Amino acid sequence: MVIVVQAIYVVFNACPPYLHITQWFRAAHGYCSSAARGPQTEECPMKGRMMPAVLLLSVLGFTGIAINEGYQDTAYNDGGGVQTIGFGTTTHPDGSPVKPGEKTNPVRALIALQSHVNQTETAIRTCIGDVPLYQYEWDAYVSLAYNIGTGAFCSSTLVKKLQQIPPDYIGACTQIKRWNKDNGHVVAGLTNRRAQEYARCLGKGEAP
Active site residue 69: yes
> Cβ of 131: how many Cβ atoms within 10 Å?
19
- As a three-state string, the secondary structure of the chain is CHHHHHHHHHHHHHCHHHHHHHHHHHHHHCCCCCCCCCCCCCCCCCCCCECHHHCCCCHHHHHHHHHHHCCEEEEEECCCCCEEEECCECECCCCCECCCCCECCHHHHHHHHHHHHHHHHHHHHHHHCCCCECHHHHHHHHHHHHHHCHHHHHCCHHHHHHCCCCCCHHHHHHHHHHCCEECCEECHHHHHHHHHHHHHHCCCCCCC
Q: Please, which residues bridge with residue 76 across strands?
A: 84
Please identify which of the residues 42, 69, 137, 197 carries the catalytic annotation.
Answer: 69
Question: Which residues carry out catalysis?
Answer: 69
